[in-house]
Structure 1
């Protein structure tokens, strides 16, 4: 990786220099105030750029293809293996079971639930839908009993930065005082996006690269109504990335971790991402891109299996209106 330092009179000028030199995919490692050779305060940005290999790992592609084919092959076997015997032998029950499985509801859950309750076809369907709704948990993070220092974690591309921009603008319009931090190494576009919104609504913004800097930022803004912390996206299978993220978020005990996931993500991948991010105590889910799919079974199954509540749902790209507090009515 190529790494360089840039100094300018302000953050925007320094970011412009980075973009001109390294391009729009530059990674920002830190932004600090320093004194130049004339002892005048300037902004120093440390940035770098990856030059990835263009080689295609054909072996990995073949392995992935084989795994996908094996998964498809096992679907029918799994479908029947999770089905209770009394359901297999009852046409009406099997039709109901198949209907919910076709919607994507977890086979073992629906099979066990049908077995537990008395069979009446119409009542059964209504009861299952009601029980699904009751199984979902939601949480209001704006209530006084919850911490107001929120870190948004999750893989690349799920909308963490956009979620923060929506919440920051929404809270500012409500008259709340808040501060925003970017904790870690970010692409230059992310820094410019956050800085653009925070400048418009007149709130504090800093890019912090180390735990001690984040701790100082939180202490400096402890009287704010909200402190929102953006984190860099990464591969959830990359343990180095996860441990670096964990290290910086251990800076303060009051930081709540909220896992941001896209509603368009496949159920198998949702489970895998959640599993990797369990190195953090996850306070809630934030589901984004709800408007981009009509298939919500992966979300339902994730909520049923993990018992973690949903706090916010993203329903579009508009800032700030396309984010809503989660409710059972909206999710179910």
Structure 2
């Protein structure tokens, strides 16, 4: 009985051992199969990854090649642009050199900075070359500029009440006498009036001219006196009114002159400007007298200046029409009424000689 139990127990242990072996074997096979499948998948992934990286490297190389070509093209374009800029700079430097020469000559001929800058702006599209003085296009441009700023008024239009204004020492009394002498030759009926009571010499000078020319002279001391006197002379063709020299910086004197002018309402207010002062001072003088609203201009003492630039610069600034010029003390020989073309040609030759 005991032997039978022992045999049964051994049989059970055997089968259990066999079952364990079988189970372990199956697990090993499954594990091996799993590893193999993993290897296949991993190999496939590695292949796909390698293909991806190969394609990426190929794309990068192609892109690098394209970038290299683009860089080459850009480099060529840059070099071409660089050459164009260098060429343009040479032209600009050359143009600037001759343009600077032109500006320097205009400055030497007493043209104002505003006049020069305005003209340079007008010719900015021109290529100024070494022989610019022989450049017909440039010369025509300058001639046109001068013609545009120079407007004139006919001397024969000067009639009625005519008053002469301007700073001290500009030559008002002498110029008035020159105009009177010319008008006298034309058989016009003329009267002299002066409000220059500051200087005895001025009144005496005008009285001398009045005696020589046989022209009546009236002296007025205040605005009402002036109005009464002028009203009494309205049967004359021309009443020439002399004034005292006024300092543009003296507001009291300038205000007093305006009261005299307003009392008679002149037909012509002639501003006299000396040619022998620099352009800036001429312009300052005009700015001081402009509130009196002069309507024409006479340049005096042209014989005391060697250039015309300041005259044209003044004309551009003031926009006043030019009546005439004086170039000496002789009465009436040294009063001239040059035409526009004559003055422009003289100024043109100064610059393009």
TM-score, structure 1 normalization: 0.69
Matches within 5 A, 1:178-197: 178-197=190-209
Q: 2:284 aligned with 1:281, yes or no?
A: no
Shift of 1:116: 5.1
Q: Which residue of 1 aligns with 2:156?
A: 142
Q: 2:101 aligned with 1:95, yes or no?
A: yes
Q: 2:153 aligned with 1:110, yes or no?
A: no
Q: Which residue of 2 aligns with 1:243?
A: 255
Q: 2 CA distance for matches of 1:155 and 1:314?
A: 16
Matches within 5 A, 1:1-332: 90=95, 91-105=97-111, 106-115=115-124, 121=132, 122-135=135-148, 136-143=150-157, 147-332=159-344
Shift of 1:123: 2.0
Question: What's the CA shift string for 1:105-127, capped at 9, x where partnerless?
Answer: 33212211211557674023312
Alpha carbons of 1:87 and 1:249: their partners in 2 closer, same or farther (altered >3 Å)? farther
Alpha carbons of 1:88 and 1:289: their partners in 2 closer, same or farther (altered >3 Å)? farther
Shift of 1:317: 0.4
Shift of 1:328: 1.4
Question: What's the CA shift string for 1:226-281, capped at 9, x where partnerless?
Answer: 11010000211100010001101111223421110111011111011001001111
3-state DSSP of counterpart to 1:317: coil
Is the 1:184–1:248 Cα contact (8 Å) retained in structure 2? no
Question: What's the CA shift string for 1:190-220, capped at 9, x where partnerless?
Answer: 1111111111222111111111211122211
Alpha carbons of 1:116 and 1:219: their partners in 2 closer, same or farther (altered >3 Å)? farther
Is the 2:163–2:266 Cα contact (8 Å) retained in structure 1? no
Alpha carbons of 1:157 and 1:108: their partners in 2 closer, same or farther (altered >3 Å)? same
Shift of 1:103: 2.3
Q: 1 CA distance for matches of 2:299 and 2:324?
A: 7
Query: Between Structure 1 and Structure 2, which shows a larger proportion of strand residues?
Result: 1
Q: Structure 1: which 5+ residue stretches go unaligned? A: 1-85
Structure of higher CA gyration radius: 2
3-state DSSP of counterpart to 2:264: coil
Q: 1 CA distance for matches of 2:159 and 2:116?
A: 37
Q: Structure 2: which 5+ residue stretches go unaligned? A: 1-90, 345-353
Is the 1:87–1:94 Cα contact (8 Å) retained in structure 2? no
3-state DSSP of counterpart to 1:329: helix
Q: 2 CA distance for matches of 1:113 and 1:87?
A: 17
Q: 1 CA distance for matches of 2:325 and 2:223?
A: 29
Alpha carbons of 1:142 and 1:87: their partners in 2 closer, same or farther (altered >3 Å)? farther
| Range moving further from structure 2, 121-130 or 241-250 | 121-130
Is the 1:263–1:288 Cα contact (8 Å) retained in structure 2? yes
Is the 2:119–2:145 Cα contact (8 Å) retained in structure 1? no
Question: What's the CA shift string for 1:4-44, capped at 9, x where partnerless?
Answer: xxxxxxxxxxxxxxxxxxxxxxxxxxxxxxxxxxxxxxxxx
Query: Between Structure 1 and Structure 2, which shows a larger proportion of helix residues?
Result: 2
3-state DSSP of counterpart to 2:295: strand
Alpha carbons of 1:226 and 1:88: their partners in 2 closer, same or farther (altered >3 Å)? farther
Shift of 1:304: 1.3
Q: 2 CA distance for matches of 1:99 and 1:133?
A: 16
Aligned length: 245
Q: 2 CA distance for matches of 1:306 and 1:258?
A: 13
TM-score, structure 2 normalization: 0.65
